[in-house]
């Protein structure tokens, strides 16, 4: 669906996108991650035909972004971070206007209006002025606009920005419902959102690609260290030292103590599980163990470590 080769965008004195190369298969929801200024919005604008690159090549749905821009735009539903809605128009009036611009007419237009309003859960506000809607409803109107012409690819720039938890959940349900018939490139700062809906993740930093894999593989393969938490009752003054002496444990830290129970965090080497060794040590030392828990890494952990290593280059 998307194929990008050596995509580069140079502004005056700044390299916004630096040789990006990646491929996205049809039918996937792909999270596009990076801090502010990483080059996400620039990349999406280039893919959408809104700006040219300095160099490189990109195709969308088999069409060259730079030489077949009209075909590319027909293949894309683009929702920018701040959608330029006409706030003085009513929801249905605005969507009808946008549908006509996209070439819909007659019965097909009316049918598609009803479909996208139901899909985006805005049928109940179809007669209200857009300027009187909440941020959540405005985001859904913008998403309905992007869907009107049934594009095979959706490019969504921060679609849940500024929404409350309930509104974020509603947008998540909409995106999952779109998955069977659409490929979605989703830019967001909410990493839990990516873990919940995305099949794959693209991470960029300072315009460069850091990683492209499934969320599960990123957390398994790219995490530098994992965390094991243990709650023990022991009067041993050398407790932390004995734990740190075990293989693959980098550091043992006492988090807090309550009623003789000590909660300790163990920093563990990547892809190592030390729980059995910890339990064997506790048994040999006659420590009471109330809990032992392996905390799985998150995408946030992965991204912070990858970005830090990129800065250290």
pLDDT at 282: 93
Say yes or no: 97 and 182 in one domain.
Answer: yes
pLDDT at 9: 92
Dist. CA 10–CA 17, nearest whole Å: 7
pLDDT-wise least confident of 17-26, 68-77, 160-169: 160-169
CA of 53: how far to CAs of 41, 70, 184, 268, in Å? 13, 17, 22, 43
29 in Cβ contact with 198 (< 8 Å): yes
Q: Give mean pLDDT, residues 181-195.
A: 84
Q: Give mean pLDDT, residues 32-58.
A: 87
290 in Cβ contact with 262 (< 8 Å): no
281/81: higher pLDDT: 281
Say yes or no: 95 and 155 in one domain.
Answer: yes
Q: Give mean pLDDT, residues 20-48.
A: 88
Is residue 4 over pLDDT 80? yes
Is residue 151 over pLDDT 90? yes
Task: Output the pTM of the full model.
Answer: 0.76
Q: Give mean pLDDT, residues 246-274.
A: 89
pLDDT in tens, 284-298: 999 999 999 987 666
Q: Give mean pLDDT, residues 143-148.
A: 93
CA of 287: how far to CAs of 59, 254, 267, 282, 291, in Å? 61, 15, 20, 5, 12
Is residue 301 over pLDDT 80? no
CATH of the domain at 120: 3.40.50.300
Say yes or no: 256 and 110 in one domain.
Answer: no
Say yes or no: 114 and 176 in one domain.
Answer: yes
Dist. CA 302–CA 34, nearest whole Å: 12
**312 domain-assigned:** no
Dist. CA 84–CA 87, nearest whole Å: 9
Say yes or no: 112 and 242 in one domain.
Answer: no
**310 domain-assigned:** no
Local confidence band at 83 (pLDDT 50, 70, 90 cut-offs):
confident
Cβ–Cβ contacts within 10 Å for residue 166, how many?
A: 8
Say yes or no: 197 and 265 in one domain.
Answer: no
Q: Give mean pLDDT, residues 59-69.
A: 90
pLDDT at 244: 93
Is residue 283 over pLDDT 80? yes
Is residue 311 over pLDDT 70? no
**306 domain-assigned:** no
Q: Is 65 exposed, middle or buried (0-12, 13-18, 19+ CB in 10 A)?
A: buried
Nearest CA to 139 out of 191, 84, 194 is that of 84
Dist. CA 18–CA 53, nearest whole Å: 11
Say yes or no: 250 and 183 in one domain.
Answer: no
CA of 91: how far to CAs of 102, 116, 190, 198, 215, in Å? 17, 12, 28, 29, 36
**257 domain-assigned:** yes
**101 domain-assigned:** yes
What's the total number of domains in the chain?
2
Is residue 185 over pLDDT 70? yes
pLDDT at 224: 55
Mean pLDDT of the chain: 87
pLDDT at 38: 82
The boundaries of the domain holding residue 130 are 2-220
pLDDT at 203: 87
Q: Give mean pLDDT, residues 107-126.
A: 93
**49 domain-assigned:** yes
**165 domain-assigned:** yes
């Amino acid at each position: 669906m998307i194929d990008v080769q050596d995509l580069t965008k140079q502004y005056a004195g700044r390299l916004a996108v630096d040789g990006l190369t990646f491929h996205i298969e049809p039918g996937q929801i792909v999270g596009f991650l990076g801090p502010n200024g990483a080059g996400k919005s620039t990349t999406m604008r280039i893919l959408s035909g809104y700006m040219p690159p300095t160099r490189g090549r990109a195709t969308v749905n088999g069409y060259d972004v730079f030489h077949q821009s009209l075909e590319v735009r027909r293949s894309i539903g683009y929702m920018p971070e701040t959608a330029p809605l006409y706030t003085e128009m009513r929801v249905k009036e605005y969507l009808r206007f946008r549908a006509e611009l996209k070439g819909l007419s007659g019965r097909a237009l009316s049918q598609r209006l009803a479909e996208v309003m139901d899909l985006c859960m805005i049928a109940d506000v179809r007669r209200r002025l857009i300027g009187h809607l909440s941020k959540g409803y405005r985001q859904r109107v913008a998403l309905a606009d992007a869907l009107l012409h049934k594009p095979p690819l959706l490019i969504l720039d921060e679609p849940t920005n500024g929404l409350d938890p309930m509104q974020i959940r509603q947008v998540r349900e909409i995106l999952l419902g779109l998955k069977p018939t659409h490929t979605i490139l989703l830019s967001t700062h909410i990493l839990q959102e990516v873990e919940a809906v995305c099949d794959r993740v693209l991470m960029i930093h300072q315009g460069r690609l850091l990683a492209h894999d499934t969320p599960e593989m990123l957390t398994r393969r790219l995490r530098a260290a994992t965390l094991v938490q243990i709650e023990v009752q022991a009067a041993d003054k050398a407790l932390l030292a004995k734990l740190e002496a075990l293989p693959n444990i980098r550091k043992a830290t006492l988090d807090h103590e309550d009623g003789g129970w000590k909660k300790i965090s163990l920093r563990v080497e990547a892809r190592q599980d030390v729980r059995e060794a910890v339990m064997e040590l506790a048994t040999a030392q006659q420590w009471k163990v109330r809990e032992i828990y392996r905390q799985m890494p998150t995408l946030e952990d992965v991204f912070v470590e990858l970005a830090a290593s990129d800065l250290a280059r």
